[in-house]
Amino acid sequence: MFADIASFHAWYTEQRRSQKSRTERIALEALDGWTTEPSTGNLVHRTGRFFSIQGLDVVRSGRAIDAWQQPIIVQPEQGILGILVKEFDGVPHCLLQLKMEPGNVNGLQLSPTVQATRSNFTGVHGGRAVPYLDHFTTPRVGRILSDVLQSEQASWFLAKRNRNMIVQVDQDVPLLPNFCWLSFEQIAALLREPNLVNMDTRTVLAGAAALRTPRQPPAGNSFGAALARSWTAGYALHTTVELLSWFTEAKNRCVLTRRLVPLTGIHGWSHRRGSVVHDRGQHFAVVGVAVEAPDREVTHWHQPMFEPRSQGVIAFLVRRLRGVPHLLLHARTETGALDGVEMAPTVQCQPDNYSLLHPDHAPTFLHHVLAAAPDRIRHDSVQSEEGGRFYHAQNRYLLVEVEDDFPLDVPPDYAWVTPRQLTEFVRYGNHLNVEARSLLTFLGFYKEDNE
Amino acid sequence: MFADIASFHAWYTEQRRSQKSRTERIALEALDGWTTEPSTGNLVHRTGRFFSIQGLDVVRSGRAIDAWQQPIIVQPEQGILGILVKEFDGVPHCLLQLKMEPGNVNGLQLSPTVQATRSNFTGVHGGRAVPYLDHFTTPRVGRILSDVLQSEQASWFLAKRNRNMIVQVDQDVPLLPNFCWLSFEQIAALLREPNLVNMDTRTVLAGAAALRTPRQPPAGNSFGAALARSWTAGYALHTTVELLSWFTEAKNRCVLTRRLVPLTGIHGWSHRRGSVVHDRGQHFAVVGVAVEAPDREVTHWHQPMFEPRSQGVIAFLVRRLRGVPHLLLHARTETGALDGVEMAPTVQCQPDNYSLLHPDHAPTFLHHVLAAAPDRIRHDSVQSEEGGRFYHAQNRYLLVEVEDDFPLDVPPDYAWVTPRQLTEFVRYGNHLNVEARSLLTFLGFYKEDNE
């Protein structure tokens, strides 16, 4: 337990010093354990397991660019992302670990108690047993607070999902090295820091967004006070039935067709100097890395990763209606998602990808986010995406509160929803995408500057 | 409006006399407008639209027979199944139509207000406009009561879904020929009759199961009274969080893999005398039909259909706990469903398919349904599946109330849930399968013998 955030940082600094690891870029052809399938050019592991990189053909996406081809990560197996919660002196704490991932810009980030692929926990790696895993398998002694199969980055994964679990226990739990107990309030503070709370932790914590509700919601007109009051009750512009209908309508409208194609020869991409790169240098590249990590269950390995070419922007516009913050949700065609359309942030893009297009094709509402006055920005932090598959993938996450004269009337694939309504939808898979879940966590663990 | 059920039947008889139609079995090779793709043997429409019949390869299903191949209907486009509701003198009525479908055993059945494929309403058929469709598209004047993308028969369809909608209006609605207004109570009576309320109507009405709740739930110990009290509140063995976790666990356990293969040469099936049949005469056959229906938007056409080889059994076991009926729900691997696992009835099978297997492989709980004493059977009716794709497909639907000593402890893929909890799950797609939704409708529109 940490008495304050400074003690956490002292421990974090110490851990970064002691957990040695090294990630080195190497050519895809040099990856040990991986082969290029002769007939397709797909990158596959020699065991046929873990994941593969194939080509995806997308048509009728309904986006500014309607059809394209791209590399995609295919990882059919579902892992477990689990966080253990326990009260100490009546205060709930989460058990997190400082874990090295090869794609992290800063080596160690705060990961869930358990972050395991099926290969991890069935022993395919030949690695060590996954600690604390028995709390997340049946039969268990703890109490389930949240348990749902959630999608991951649909621009880079095909139909990838992980089981997101929060389990509360009462009995003693041994504290292993690299692990720590953090209170909800400490997590709220750490979520404001860049690249510290990893994506897996953020998506799992979305299931706890409403659990941090104070028993006595604060009075006052600040954004934090209005937000704190909104979790349990209050006005909503649309009923849940109306929002589910809006979402169904968007799915019904979607005529997206996608199919796997050989990685070799996908249009707009080339294999150059050991990587697969986009011909205009946009989006991302498929690169190889060699990893040494003495503290991981497997201590060295090679793997391909996706390396984004630019930083993304992920943001909710927020407008108060009758005092209740409403988020502008986007029913977004998600090319890799199992169900084609998911509930997404107002804005989610790599702005650089649009630099070559006519300004009319800029993502809707991007301007409102980028041009927001500093005093309208409620959250602004740069965070990492999953460091096990993505190399130095960073996005800027924002919550921007618009003025009261911002139009309520929005395009048909957008809708105003309350944070409380999001906590209903997040219980069901295939609803909130991973980017919206990160933002829901920033809302659930919101902390004002002066708190 | 009908003063009583007898007046409805008089009208129904008259309609059956006046709506002439004829369905004739013909060989698949003789189907006008359909061709067999030379390279695959798949049955496709010459326009490439509507639907196709392909082969499906299934492995690791986890069922008694773990792997198999079969013909499957591939129909990616989503249609609309919509029911219009309007109050007359304060009593809500549904607008249903008597519609001929080629697969119906009895020609006409009660269909939703709108039952339209995308081809129907975008005019691919070259048919007439779909009446009342504007109530189910935006912008609309009515109020949405339910709107969700729901799966259909996963043994016969690959990832087929339709939009299920209930819309309530206040303004006048013209009554077209073949259409009628039926009160919820009249529908409750008609649902007890065989092959009258079609599958599409039953699945849409599942979204209204909780809407029929009387303002003053009846007292007493009858099943109907206990059920009526259960829709709004009351005890539940498991919380919703626990049930969602149980469902997630089942999905996480599922390692089903399926892929489309050419229809020609699928194992266990043969093309014989104009049909595709199972080598042991089980499951179903793919047959061709020629249809004449002067009252339909298109008056004559040919098409392939699936014809089941035997009648199925679809049943919930029900046990009262603290006076509240609990249904034994099955998290079932659904080979054709988008999401692999859906919430299904306790029993759902064609018993004849198991006649050649060792009795140990009989479906779990089938014996409890078939051997139930008559005084434990709360509902028992033979109903048709979708007559647009299935030829004379009938299932026996049952609700069987077990004794109080029936074990609460059930296999891990089963769980006891209340009707109220089902009404939560049915709002979200990919949860209740179509068979469970029919049973939910029988529960929502339950009527005791003496009522």
pLDDT tens column, A373-426: 999 999 999 999 999 999 999 999 999 999 999 999 999 999 999 999 999 999
CB contact under 8 A, B252 and A429: no
* CA B145 from centre of chain: 20
Q: Which residues of A touch B165 (CB under 8 A)?
A: 245
- Cα A399 off chain centre by: 16
Cis amide linkage into residue B217, ω under 30° from 0:
no
| CA A119/CA A131 separation, integer angstroms | 15
> Domain locations in chain A?
5-23+76-211
SS (H, E, C) chain B: CCCCHHHHHHHHHHHHHHCCCEEEEECHHHCCCEEECCCCCCEEECCCCCCEEEEEEEECCCCCCCCEEEEEEECCCCEEEEEEEEEECCEEEEEEEEEECCCCCCCEEEECCEEECHHHHHCCCCCCCCCCHHHHCCCCCCEEEEEEEEECCCCCEECCEEEEEEEECCCCCCCCCCEEEEEHHHHHHHCCCCCCECHHHHHHHHHHHHHHCCCCCCCCCCHHHHHHHHCCCCCCCCCHHHHHHHHHHHHHHCCCEEEEECCCCCCCEEEECCEEEECCCCCEEEEEEEEECCCCCCCEEEEEEEEECCCEEEEEEEEEECCEEEEEEEEEECCCCCCCEEEECCEEECHHHHCCCCHHHCCCCHHHHHCCCHHHEEEEEEEECCCCCECCCEEEEEEEECCCCCCCCCCCCEEEECHHHHHHHCCCCCCECHHHHHHHHHHHCCCCCCC
- Place B211 in a pLDDT band, splitting at 50, 70 and 90: confident
Could you report the per-residue pLDDT of A255-308, keeping only the tens digit for each?
999 999 999 989 999 999 999 999 999 999 999 999 999 887 788 999 999 999
Whether A252 sits inside 8 A of B146 (CB atoms) is no
> For chain B, what is the mean pLDDT?
94
| Band (B232; pLDDT cuts 50, 70, 90) | confident
| Ramachandran assignment for B207, one of left (phi > 0), alpha (psi -120 to 50 degrees), beta (any other) | alpha
Question: B-chain residues within 8 Å CB-CB of A412?
Answer: 138
A4 or B50: which leads in pLDDT: A4
Q: Is A7 on the interface with B (CB under 8 A)?
A: no
Smallest CA-to-CA distance from A84 within A181, A5, A160, A188 is with A181
Percent of chain B with pLDDT over 70: 97
What is the rounded CA–CA span in Å between residue B162 and residue B115? 10
Chain B CB contacts of A165 below 8 Å: 245
* Cβ–Cβ pairs < 8 A, chains A and B: 71
| Contact (CB<8Å) A430/B163 | no
| Mean pLDDT confidence for B348-369 | 88
- Burial of residue A233 (number of CB atoms within 10 Å: 0-12, 13-18, 19+): exposed
Distance of residue B78 Cα from the nearest chain A Cα, in angstroms = 7
**Pairing mode, if any, of strands B161-168 and B79-88?**
parallel
With CA atoms as reference, the chain A residue closest to B429 would be: A248
Task: Specify the residue for token string 């929002």.
Answer: A243
Q: Give the model's pLDDT for residue B295.
A: 80
Contacts of B120 in chain A (CB under 8 A): none
What length is written for chain B? 451
- Mutate which of B120, B147, B238, B414 to test chain A, going by most A C-beta atoms within 10 A? B147
Mean pLDDT of chain A: 94
**What does the pLDDT read at residue A212?**
81
* pLDDT of amino acid B272: 93
pLDDT at A228: 93
Give the pLDDT of residue B104. 96
Q: Is residue B62 pLDDT above 90, yes or no?
A: no
Pairing of strands A347-349, B34-36: unpaired
- Distance between A281 CA and the closest CA of chain B, angstroms: 35
Would you state the pLDDT for residue B53? 98
The nearest alpha carbon in chain A to B159 belongs to A339
| pLDDT band at residue B197 under the 50/70/90 scheme | very high
> How many Å lie between the alpha carbon of A425 and the closest alpha carbon of chain B?
9
Average confidence (pLDDT) over A228-237: 91
Q: Chain B within 8 Å of A351 (Cβ-Cβ)?
A: no
Contact with chain A for residue B422, Cβ under 8 A: no
Whether residue B447 lies within 8 A of chain A, CB to CB, comes out as no
* Contact residues, chain A, for B145 at CB < 8 Å: 241
A47-101: pLDDT as tens digits: 988 899 999 999 999 888 899 999 999 998 889 999 999 999 999 999 999 999 9
In chain A, residues 63-82 whose CB comes closer than 8 Å to chain B = 76, 78, 80
B338 touches chain A (CB under 8 A): yes
Over 60: is that where the pLDDT of A124 sits?
no
Identify the pLDDT of residue B402. Answer: 98
Residue pLDDT, tens place only, A147-204:
999 999 999 999 999 999 999 999 999 999 999 999 999 999 999 999 999 999 999 9
Task: State whether B163 and A248 contact (CB < 8 Å).
Answer: yes
Q: Render pLDDT for B296-347 as a digit per residue (tens, 0 to 9).
A: 778 999 999 999 999 999 999 999 999 999 999 999 999 999 999 999 999 9
- pLDDT exceeds cutoff 70 at A125: no
C-alpha R_g of chain A: 22
Q: How far is CA A163 from CA A247, A350, A379, B245, B336, in A?
A: 23, 27, 27, 10, 22
Half-sphere exposure (Cβ direction) of B353: Cα atoms closer than 13 Å: 17
Whether residue A244 and residue B80 make contact (CB cut-off 8 A), yes or no, is no
Assess B339–A contact: CB distance below 8 Å, yes or no.
yes
The reported pLDDT for the residue numbered B43 is: 97
Which ipTM did the prediction report?
Answer: 0.94
CB contact under 8 A, A138 and B428: no
B330/A contact by beta carbon, under 8 A: no
Q: Is any Cβ of chain B less than 8 angstroms from the Cβ of A122?
A: no
Q: What is the pLDDT of residues A22-49, one digit of tens each?
A: 999 999 999 999 999 999 999 999 998 8
The nearest alpha carbon in chain B to A80 belongs to B252
Stretch B262-272: mean pLDDT: 95
Q: Does B242 touch chain A (CB under 8 A)?
A: yes
Is B430 within 8 Å of A242 when comparing Cβ atoms? no
Q: Do B252 and A338 touch (CB under 8 A)?
A: no
Residue B213 has pLDDT above 90, yes or no: no
Residue A449 has pLDDT above 90, yes or no: no
Give me the pLDDT at residue A128, please: 65
What is the rounded CA–CA span in Å between residue B300 and residue B323? 53
Are B166 and B207 contacting, i.e. CB atoms less than 8 angstroms apart?
Answer: yes
- Please give the Cα distance from B201 to B411 (Å, whole number): 32
CATH of domain A5-23+76-211: 3.90.79.40
Comparing alpha-carbon positions, the chain A residue that sits nearest to B76 is A255
**pLDDT digits over B111-157, tens only?**
999 998 877 766 555 556 889 999 999 888 899 999 999 999 999 99
For A242, which of B144, B240, B430 is closest by C-beta distance? B144
User: Quick one: closest CA in B to A425, which residue?
Assistant: B428
Q: Is the dihedral of CA A412, A417, A423, A424 positive or negative?
A: negative
Q: In chain A, pLDDT over 90 holds for what percent of residues?
A: 85
C-beta atoms of A149 and B251 within 8 A: yes
Min Cα separation A171/chain B (Å) = 20
**What's the pLDDT at B77?**
84
Q: How far apart are CA B147 and CA A238, in angstroms?
A: 14
Provide, rounded to the nearest whole percent, the portion of chain A with pLDDT above 70: 97
How confident is the model at residue A356, as a pLDDT? 72
The answer to whether B23 faces chain A, any CB pair under 8 Å, is: no
The 10s digit of each residue's pLDDT in B290-310 is: 999 988 778 999 999 999 999
Q: Is B149 on the interface with A (CB under 8 A)?
A: yes
Are A248 and B78 a contacting pair at CB < 8 A?
no
> SS3 of A376, please?
helix
pLDDT at site A117: 82
Question: Which residues in chain A are closer than 8 Å to B78, comparing Cβ atoms?
Answer: 251-252
In whole angstroms, what is the distance from residue B102 CA to residue B198 CA?
A: 13
Please state the φ and ψ torsions of residue B230, each to the nearest 5 degrees: -80, -15
pLDDT of residue B356: 73
* pLDDT single digits (tens) B422-444: 999 999 999 999 999 999 999 99
Are B244 and A149 an interchain contact pair (Cβ–Cβ within 8 Å)? no
Q: How far apart are CA B72 and CA B9, in angstroms?
A: 37
* B212 pLDDT above the threshold of 90: no
Chain B CB within 8 Å of residue A338 CB: yes
